[in-house]
């Protein structure tokens, strides 16, 4: 009896902790959706997007929006602690040398020191 009760609690704690800390971002949004498995689906692994150019004066862009435009979801601090990287010059396959930001996914990208960025997303083929 105790073992069955304690395993139920650990399952509940695992689900609750995952929801609190943003774990399981690859998981289903709805109960009937399939679970995303990084072993089977490379798009499930957090990765930086292609280069995103500064959209222009007065235009705000968040990583939530950038990832959604690419068919995925932003994962805050999911790419080695970064939500996005900013560059003065950007190449799609170069994910090094940028200024790493751990900003929230719904926070506008600060373009003050750069003209390019890459966002950390899941569900996007890189």
State which H helix or E strand residue 47 sits in. strand 47-48
d(CA 126, CA 113): 25
The per-residue pLDDT for range 1-59, each reduced to its tens digit, is 444 444 344 333 333 333 334 444 444 444 444 446 667 776 688 999 999 999 988 88
d(CA 120, CA 88): 18
Tokens 């966002």 belong to which residue?
Answer: 119
Q: Does pLDDT of 123 surpass 70?
A: yes
Can you give the pLDDT at residue 40?
73
Residue 118, φ and ψ in degrees, nearest 5: -135, 135
Helix, strand, coil percentages (3-state) for the chain, rounded to 5, are 25, 20, 60
Can you give the pLDDT at residue 96?
75
Q: What is the pTM of this model?
A: 0.67
Q: Who has greater pLDDT, 58 or 101?
A: 101
């Amino acid at each position: 009896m105790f073992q069955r009760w304690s395993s139920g609690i650990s399952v509940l704690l695992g689900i609750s902790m995952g929801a609190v800390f943003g774990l399981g971002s690859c998981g289903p949004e709805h109960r009937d959706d399939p679970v995303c498995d990084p072993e089977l689906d490379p798009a499930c692994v957090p990765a930086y997007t292609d280069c995103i150019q500064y959209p222009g004066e007065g235009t705000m862009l968040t990583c939530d929006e950038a990832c959604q435009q690419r068919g995925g979801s932003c994962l805050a601090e999911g790419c080695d602690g970064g939500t996005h990287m900013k560059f003065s010059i950007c190449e799609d396959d170069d994910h090094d040398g940028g200024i790493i930001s751990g900003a929230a996914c719904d926070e506008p990208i600060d373009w003050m020191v750069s003209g390019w960025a890459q966002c950390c997303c899941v569900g996007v083929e890189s």
